[in-house]
Structure 1
């Protein structure tokens, strides 16, 4: 049975995330993500992707969309790169996923959150929100990730 998993990541790790996207194509599970960007049309009519800041008024619609995805996802995986610990969106996603799932799983929500270090980022600092809301971090190991996704599901 396919399990829906929300993937949280820092935009600066886009190339690494593309490698993850390749791996998820081999999985039987459904991976959801939101890039926290919006399109802005410039004066010449071209589209430009803008990284929306969490405190930007325009981020409300993005936050609401992410919450809807959380409702459909059983697990959250945070892809940890060198700058992920500084990303306000990642912190927000972990904290809000935890809060939502803890209301349903009372004290067991942390079992559904896992950080996975991106390849070559094994010594990266994990986001603070993961310190008490996640089990052991995974190294870059797609098989271990698959095994974790299937645990307790």
Structure 2
């Protein structure tokens, strides 16, 4: 069974359910590492850690996400209007690339979006929104 990690800016989470719908086909052998962390990582004050990946305080969050990325065969990046500015999407892409390379990363532009890609991925193809293409790509 293939495992897919979905990286996206949380402003665009309404499209994640569309991606998950691929799984409703009983002949489709895949699962998603598509959830936020099951339990939030809290700081020393008991608040949710919302630090950037560059902040040492975010290491517990990185550790948990890195395990999900290592366990994934493919990475789907949903490109919305502000994805290019998400430090966490950038970090997830960079981290996944170390494990599986760029050919296992698909960037898919959300409908009605004109947003750009995270730094370092400008030469990577961005596909138009197509659940059929996504399903075919996952199976390759």
Fold match, TM over 0.5?
Answer: yes
CA displacement at 1:114 relative to structure 2: 0.9
1:76–1:114 CA contact under 8 A, matched in 2: yes
Change (3 A) 1:94 1:40: closer
1:120 aligns with 2:119: no
CA displacement at 1:16 relative to structure 2: 3.0
Change (3 A) 1:111 1:143: same
Tell me how large the CA RMSD over aligned residues is.
2.7
Change (3 A) 1:99 1:16: same
2:4–2:33 CA contact under 8 A, matched in 1: yes
Query: Structure 1: which 5+ residue stretches go unaligned?
Result: 42-46, 102-108
CA displacement at 1:83 relative to structure 2: 0.3
Query: Structure 2: which 5+ residue stretches go unaligned?
Result: none
Distance 1:49 1:18 in 2: 24
CA displacement at 1:150 relative to structure 2: 1.0
CA displacement at 1:48 relative to structure 2: 7.1
The alignment's TM-score, normalised by the length of structure 2, stands at 0.79
1:6–1:76 CA contact under 8 A, matched in 2: yes
Match 1:145 to one of 122, 134, 137 = 134
Q: Deviations over 1:66-101 (max 9, x none)?
A: 111122111111011000000001111111111122
Change (3 A) 1:117 1:24: same
